[in-house]
Structure formats: structure tokens, C-alpha cells
Amino acid sequence: MKSHPSTLGVVYQGLRTNTFTLPLLLLPTLLTVTSCSVIETSFSAIKTTFSAIKTGYRVVKKTVKGTIWVVRGTYQFTKATTKLVYQIGKFTFEVVRAPLEYPLMRDDLETIDGLPVKEAIRLGRVKNAPYTVKGRHYVPMTLASAQRYEETGLASWYGEETRRQQGGHMTANGELFNPRALTAAHKYLPLPIHVQVTNLENGRSIVVRVNDRGPFPSDHNPDSGKRIIDLSRGAAEQLGFAEQGVAKVHVETIQLEEA
């Protein structure tokens, strides 16, 4: 396992990168020399209709085997948008902007981009901005690095307690936390981003939207900070480890491109 120190001293553990470069303009050429299957689905957002194409491909000459999703429309919030509903394959995502007065899921998150957390969220200065938790400085990876990210390690799940509390809770990028949704927290990935998570203990695999920060060391379990991803209860159930609490997983960024 390799460690990659950031420029500000934060250690990224277990990251493995590979070359994953596939401009959409080259996709028709690649498809003429490869065998592909195309599955079309449709989905909608507030005042917007858009579709996705999942293209499986096998390419040659130093390019990787994998999957690219071509998205027509947007899966990001705009200033006027308060809710998005979209689909990636069989996985449906409903994203709601949380009121700023809602408490954060991570109440030990102190600053983002040098600002109070709620102010950074209001100004839209979250995506890959540095942040602090309990006095420790974290520096997320660049967008380019995130596209090549994959890692194997332990996953846990969090947030079940919010079901028993009044009112809603906010993720680190200002979205309403839903313990039943397919979402996740990550220390270093830009927010939001989509990753494929595979439970290596049973082979189950899902796509989740990363919209929060964590997991971090806790006072009663410092080793919890070594876990690579925190999933929602709903995601943990689909991966089959909700009862045991943790599982060994492989996490890999999936490619989403605007048509």
C-alpha cells in the first residue's frame, strides 16, 4: 500500500491511480473497433428532462477496460434548483438542498476553505476546498486525480441516528442527508462525485453519490479514521453489511460525461 503526501502534509493512504482518459469525441472511433452493449434509460429533474447512456467497452493499446456514462442534462445543483432526481442504470438518486439552519452531519467539521462551514456552503466553496476537523487540516484531491481514483479498504456506515431525531441534517456540501439514500462520505474526493462500491466479501456492487466528509477518528475508536468510506444505511444494506457494521470494499470513481 502506497502513501501519497499532499502539499500541506495530509497523507492519502492506499490510493492507486491508473490512466483513464477517454474524450467523448474519440468514443465513436473506439466503438467501431470494440464490442459494446448500450443500455438507454431516462430520468428527470425539476423542469428538466435528460437521459443517460451506459456504454460498456473493451479497448486496446494502454487504455483501460471499464464503463463510461454519458449524461445529457445535469446532475448538479443550480442556484434556482432545490431538488434533483436522476438515474444511473438501476440506481435512482433524489437530491434535496438542505436549509442552512439544519445541523451538519459532522458537527466536528470546523471550517471549509478557511470559512465557517455554513458560509462556505452558502457561497458554493466546498467541492474540493481544504477543510479542518478537530484542528486537523485535510486537503481533497484535484478533480483530475479524482477521475483516476480507486482504493481498497474498509467501509463503514453512519447516520442511522438521524431517523430518531427531529428535523433534518445537512451534509458537507449542503444536501439533505437521507439514511435510506445511496450516498457516502469521503475524506478526499471532491463533492459531489459518484463512485462504484463493491463489497469484496460477497461481490455486491452499487453506485453511490459522495456528498459528505468522513470517516474521521472518533474519541472512542481512533482506528475509525482509517476506513476509506462511510456509507448511508441504505447503501450498506444493498451491499449486505449493515448488520456487521464494516466490510472490505473496492471503491472506484465512475466516469460521468456531459453530452
One domain, residues 119 and 236: yes
| Calpha distance 252→150 (Å, rounded) | 4
Beta bridge partners of 38: 55
Which of 96, 119, 141 is the last residue before a domain boundary? 96
One domain, residues 191 and 116: yes
One domain, residues 68 and 58: yes
Per-residue confidence in pLDDT tens, the chain, 259 aa: 433 333 333 333 444 444 444 344 443 443 343 333 333 333 333 333 333 333 333 322 223 334 666 555 567 777 778 898 887 877 889 999 999 999 999 999 999 999 999 999 999 999 999 999 999 999 999 999 998 999 999 999 998 777 666 779 999 999 999 999 999 999 999 999 999 999 999 999 999 999 999 999 988 888 888 999 999 999 999 999 999 999 999 999 988 765 4
One domain, residues 37 and 145: no
One domain, residues 143 and 187: yes
Domain count, the chain: 2
Which residue, among 230, 181, 244, 235, has the nearest Cα to 204 in the 3D structure?
235
One domain, residues 88 and 101: no
One domain, residues 12 and 111: yes
- Is 0.95 surpassed by the pTM of this model? no
Q: By the 8 A CB rule, do 172 and 117 touch? A: yes
| Calpha distance 139→193 (Å, rounded) | 16
One domain, residues 150 and 236: yes
Domain that holds residue 52: 24-96
Indicate the pairing of strand 205-212 with strand 183-185: parallel
| Calpha distance 228→47 (Å, rounded) | 36
CATH code where residue 194 lies: 2.40.40.10
One domain, residues 124 and 243: yes
Beta bridge partners of 30: none
